[in-house]
């Protein structure tokens, strides 16, 4: 494992930046995988059993374009992305009824998604600003209330990035004063920009191409760091862009998609295409850090549906579509179930909301004691495209994006 001899600087910057997340209003989902980027919500008071046919549909919004962007929700507005009329857009909808509030074009569609057109990224809301990355590498900062442009970058032209085969899919991270993204390549494998002006602050020159995962911030061994799953493996860089450690075992040669799961000094990462997942324990080694593999398992070949950690147990879909519960510390399989299909999932109040890529939506206990189903339904009027956008649960509603439509279900108790 590679290490970096820059711990004193990293420790200094970690102290300066701090690690406490910005305060969030209750029941918001302002970014990819929620306010803590874990896929776990602390919202309560939701139904623990669905009626036959599923929860009631509150409303359906149309006109959000072609794409696989998962929505984010903050300040009474829903943000998502899509292709419409030959251009790539960021949309804002009312969380009350789904009516469009504004639509801001990023630029012309220049990438077909290798047969799956449309943006994949979740917009990131930070106060009065919203940040979004298009499939072509158009990175924008917009006024959250009006959609007016504040600044813009092209990750390819401005930061020498290289578009992955299926297009840029990362949901950018805002942490303190910075926006962090993954252009990929030798000049800026990861880049930190001033979130207010867009001016580059530092660039991590690791050399890895970008994949399809999204950055997470972590505090490991007292060091503030940013963990990303690139085309070659899991890497961690410090608050100046220096490489701290890497772990390549979970990578496959096709597409690394799922966001790594950080738990204290431990990091779990997994991918599909026959690869699997592994847990590392990150420890000090001389003047640097080292990733020590604890185990590697073929029982979590997680393609793109993500994983959530609840009470020491990891839940996710193991290819070809087996919903699985692993004990994180050991990798031991506690249970598995094929009925839910290959699913993307979130956890709310110890319940798993699982959305299969063929449209089936299931409500399952987040418990290692066994698979227990509490409701299941098929989305009506589903498109022919895979149901890849992750489910979002926010303020008593379950949101499902299906290409040009966004559906909102009432899941309150």
pLDDT digits (tens, 9 = 90+) for 343-372: 999 999 999 999 999 999 999 999 999 999
Residue 13 is predicted with a pLDDT of 38
Residue 320 contacts residue 356 (beta carbons within 8 Å): no
Q: Which of 14-23, 308-317, 395-404 has the lowest mean pLDDT?
A: 14-23
7-20+27-410: which CATH number, 3.40.50.300, 3.30.530.20, 2.130.10.10, 3.30.70.260?
Answer: 2.130.10.10
pLDDT tens for each residue of 365-390 = 999 999 999 999 999 999 999 999 99
For the cut 60, the answer to whether the pLDDT of residue 10 exceeds it is: no
Q: Answer yes or no: is pLDDT of 20 > 80.
A: no
Distances (CA, A) of 214 to 246, 252, 258, 288, 301: 16, 16, 8, 24, 18
pLDDT at 27: 83
**Predicted local distance difference test score (pLDDT) of residue 1:** 35
Mean pLDDT confidence for 291-315: 98
Assess whether pLDDT exceeds 80 at residue 3. Answer: no
Q: What is the pLDDT of residues 118-145, one digit of tens each?
A: 999 999 999 999 999 999 999 999 999 9
Residue 146 pLDDT greater than 80, yes or no: yes
Element spanning 243, H or E = strand 243-247
Task: Give tens-digit pLDDT for 43-85.
Answer: 999 999 999 999 999 999 999 999 999 999 999 999 999 999 9
**Are 324 and 299 contacting, i.e. CB atoms less than 8 angstroms apart?**
yes
Q: Is the pLDDT of residue 229 over 50?
A: yes
Task: Mention every residue, 6+ apart, whose C-beta is less than 8 A from residue 258.
Answer: 213, 229, 269, 270, 271, 302, 303, 304, 305, 306, 307, 316
Q: Give residue 17's pLDDT.
A: 44
**How far, CA to CA in Å, does 230 sit from each of 61, 105, 259, 338?**
34, 28, 10, 29
Percent of the chain with pLDDT over 90: 93
Q: How confident is the model at residue 26, as a pLDDT? A: 56
Question: Which residue in 335, 318, 178, 326 sits closest to 258, CA to CA?
Answer: 318
Does residue 4 register a pLDDT over 80? no
Single out the residue of 290, 285, 326 nearest to residue 309, CA to CA: 326
pLDDT at 237 over 50: yes
Mean of pLDDT values over 203-217: 98
pLDDT (mean) for 24-31: 78
Interval 90-102 mean pLDDT: 98
Sorted by where each begins, the domain ranges of the chain are 7-20+27-410
Share of the chain above pLDDT 70, in %: 94
**H-helix or E-strand spanning residue 179:** strand 178-181
**pLDDT grade for 7, boundaries at 50, 70 and 90:** very low
Scored b (16 or more CB within 10 A) or e, 72-100 reads: bbbbebbbbbbbbeebbbbbbbebeebee
């Amino acid at each position: 494992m590679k290490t970096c001899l820059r711990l004193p600087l990293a420790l200094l910057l970690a102290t300066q930046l701090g690690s406490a997340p910005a305060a969030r209003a209750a029941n918001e989902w302002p970014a990819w995988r929620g306010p803590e980027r874990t896929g776990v919500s602390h919202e309560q008071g939701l139904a623990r059993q669905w009626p036959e046919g599923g929860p009631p549909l509150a409303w359906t919004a149309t006109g959000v374009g072609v794409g696989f962007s998962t929505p984010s929700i903050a300040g009474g507005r829903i943000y998502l992305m899509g292709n419409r009329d030959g251009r790539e857009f960021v949309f804002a909808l009312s969380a009350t009824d789904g009516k469009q509030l504004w639509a801001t074009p990023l630029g012309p569609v220049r990438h077909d998604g290798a047969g799956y057109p449309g943006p994949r990224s979740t917009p990131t809301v930070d106060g009065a600003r919203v940040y979004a990355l298009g499939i072509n590498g158009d990175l924008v900062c917009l006024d959250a209330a009006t959609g007016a442009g504040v600044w813009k970058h092209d990750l390819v032209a401005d930061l020498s990035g290289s578009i992955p085969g299926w297009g840029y899919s990362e949901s950018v991270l805002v942490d303190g004063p910075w926006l962090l993204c993954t252009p990929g390549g030798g000049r800026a494998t990861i880049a930190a920009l001033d979130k207010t002006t867009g001016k580059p602050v530092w660039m991590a020159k690791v050399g890895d191409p970008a994949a399809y995962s999204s950055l997470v911030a972590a505090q490991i061994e007292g060091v503030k760091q940013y963990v990303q799953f690139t085309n070659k493996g899991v890497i961690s860089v410090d608050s100046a862009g220096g490489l701290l450690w890497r772990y390549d075992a979970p990578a496959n040669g096709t597409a690394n998609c799922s966001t790594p799961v950080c738990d204290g000094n431990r990091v779990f990462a997994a991918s599909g295409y026959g690869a699997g997942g592994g847990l590392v324990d990150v420890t000090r080694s001389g003047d640097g850090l080292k990733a020590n593999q604890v185990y590697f398992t073929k029982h979590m070949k997680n393609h793109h549906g993500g994983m959530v950690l609840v009470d020491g147990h990891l839940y996710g879909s193991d290819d070809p579509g087996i919903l699985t519960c692993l004990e994180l510390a050991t990798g031991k399989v506690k249970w598995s179930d094929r009925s839910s299909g290959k699913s993307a999932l979130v956890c709310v109040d110890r319940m798993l909301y699982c959305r299969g890529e063929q449209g089936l939506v299931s409500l399952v206990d987040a418990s290692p004691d066994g698979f227990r189903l509490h409701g299941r339904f098929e989305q009506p009027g589903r498109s022919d495209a895979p149901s890849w956008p992750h489910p979002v649960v926010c303020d008593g509603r379950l949101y499902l994006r299906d290409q040009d439509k966004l559906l909102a279900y009432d899941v309150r108790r």
